[in-house]
Amino acid sequence: MSTPVLHTRLPAVGTTVFSLMSALASEHSAVNLGQGFPDFACEPALLDHVDAAMRAGHNQYPMMTGVPALREAIAAKIAAVYGAHYNAATEITVTAGATQALTTAILCCVHPGEEVIVIEPAYDSYLPAITLAGGVPVPVAMELGEQGYTVPWDRIAAAVTPRTRLIIINTPHNPTGSILRAADLRALTDIVRGSDILILSDEVYEHMVYDGARHESVCRYPELAGRSFVVSSFGKTYHVTGWKIGYVAAPASLMAEFRKVHQYNVFSVNTPMQHGLATYMADPAPYRDLPAFYQRKRDLFRDGLKGSRFTLLPADGTYFQCVKYEAISPILESDFAQWLTTDIKVAAIPVSAFYSQGRESGIVRFCFAKKDETLRLALERLARL
């Protein structure tokens, strides 16, 4: 019996670099600073709230749009933090993680042949989602200078055509650790003003901004918020990446289209965890204190690398640190990351993996969302370089 030939919808897609490097780290007993997830537990209180929700009987399908109490808590938080007011009933949807939110947003608004501007290096789910929608990705590379990575807004403006449907932004930015500033949001506003271009704003690291800087959410800018899907992640904020729960905020007309796809994509999201999160969000301290929590880890990691031959790039947000390794080796990023993993026993991710054409810059990315002892062990091994 023969199996019929299946013509792939994603011919350029294979196993993600994150899965490959995590598997390699496990095989070689390396400290995994590659894939972006914490190796420490969430607060016990969050688990207690979820347990209580399960025992209270919240174990059946929730509303497709999300448990009302959680949507109300999300809307209240956005209002308190960013001064933006979203209607919990019509403008907030709970999703099965941020990646589902991003994919659903793209599928609901991008039609075949329409263009999507993607700022590279970029999170790896953007391009496959655009391809599935039949859209045309238009990559624009960030510039790298003494101040780190920046967005060339003049080149973004030049990339706009009558076919441009969507611009994807990501702040704080994975993988570079850069953040958008107020001037960046003003430049974006100037580009889209008077057009029908939509914005997809990936803000999953919104509470990981350092050195007293402010997270410039699209929500703060009414002219942008009126045309934007804003995505965030409970997994990132509360150290529970495996729960895969996120949310989207958008104007009601955009959200109505988002929900059409969402209801036939995942339909709904884990019920007791939604109830647990709704209760947990009553206390703002966990997300309010997150910048200081991660800045200390960032500084520990950066201080530990100062004596090495790595060149540290700025890390203004996220829980990632990018480094240049030109003083250590001239080899390609993927080869260097594999060598680090197999020989030095510390896993990293090549930044070239975040470009559609595999652009080489001699840079790898480390994740510092780890226990202090994990970071110190990694630093001890990296000190050999």
> Does residue 113 come out as left (phi exceeding 0), alpha (psi in the -120 to 50 range) or beta?
left
Is the domain of 237 the same as that of 363?
no
State which of 286, 314, 338 marks the end of a domain.
286
Q: What is the C-alpha separation between 44 and 59, in angstroms, rounded?
A: 20
Q: What pLDDT score does 333 carry? A: 97
Helices (H), the chain: 17-27, 44-55, 68-82, 98-109, 126-132, 153-159, 182-192, 222-225, 234-237, 252-265, 271-280, 285-288, 290-305, 333-339, 372-382
Residue 292, domain extent: 17-42+288-382
Has residue 86 been placed in a domain? yes
Q: Do 194 and 312 belong together in one domain?
A: no
Same domain? For 82 and 195 the reply is yes
**CATH for 104:** 3.40.640.10
Q: What is the pLDDT along the chain (385 residues), one digit of tens a residue?
A: 789 999 899 988 887 888 888 899 999 999 999 989 999 999 999 999 999 999 999 999 999 999 999 999 999 999 999 999 999 999 999 999 999 999 999 999 999 999 999 999 999 999 999 999 999 999 999 999 988 999 999 999 999 999 999 999 999 999 999 999 999 999 999 999 999 999 999 999 999 999 999 999 999 999 999 999 999 999 999 999 999 999 999 999 999 999 999 999 999 999 999 999 999 999 999 999 999 999 999 999 999 999 899 999 999 999 999 999 999 999 999 999 999 999 999 999 999 999 999 899 999 999 999 999 999 999 999 988 8
Q: For residue 1, what pLDDT is reported? A: 78
- Residues 161 and 262 placed together within one structural domain of the fold: yes
| Same-domain check for residues 136 and 71 | yes
Domain end position, chosen among 254, 286, 318? 286
Gyration radius from the chain CA atoms: 21
Residues 278 and 322 in one domain: no
243 and 254 both lie in a single domain: yes
Assess contact for 110 and 118: CB atoms under 8 A: no
- Cα(162)–Cα(140) distance, rounded to whole angstroms? 17
179 located within any domain: yes
Residue 356 and residue 263 share a domain? no
Please check whether residue 9 lies inside any domain of the structure.
no
Q: Are 304 and 375 in contact (CB under 8 A)?
A: yes
Residue 223 domain-assigned? yes
Instruction: Specify the number of domains making up the chain.
Output: 2
Domain CATH for 309: 3.90.1150.10
> Do residues 310 and 374 both lie within one domain?
yes
Output the pLDDT for position 116: 98
- The answer to whether residue 189 is domain-embedded is yes
- Domain endpoint, select from 286, 315, 342: 286
Does any domain span residue 128?
yes
Contact 333, 364 (CB under 8 A): yes
On whether both 181 and 257 belong to a single domain, the answer is: yes
Q: What is the pLDDT of residue 241?
A: 96
375 close to 334: Cβ distance less than 8 angstroms = no
Q: Please check whether residues 309 and 248 belong to one and the same domain.
A: no
Q: What is the pTM of this model?
A: 0.97
Residue 3 lies in a domain: no
In a domain, 348, yes or no: yes
What was the pLDDT predicted at 114? 98
User: How close are the terminal C-alpha atoms of the chain, in Å?
Assistant: 55
Indicate whether 177 and 85 sit together in one domain: yes
Q: What is the pLDDT of residue 12?
A: 85
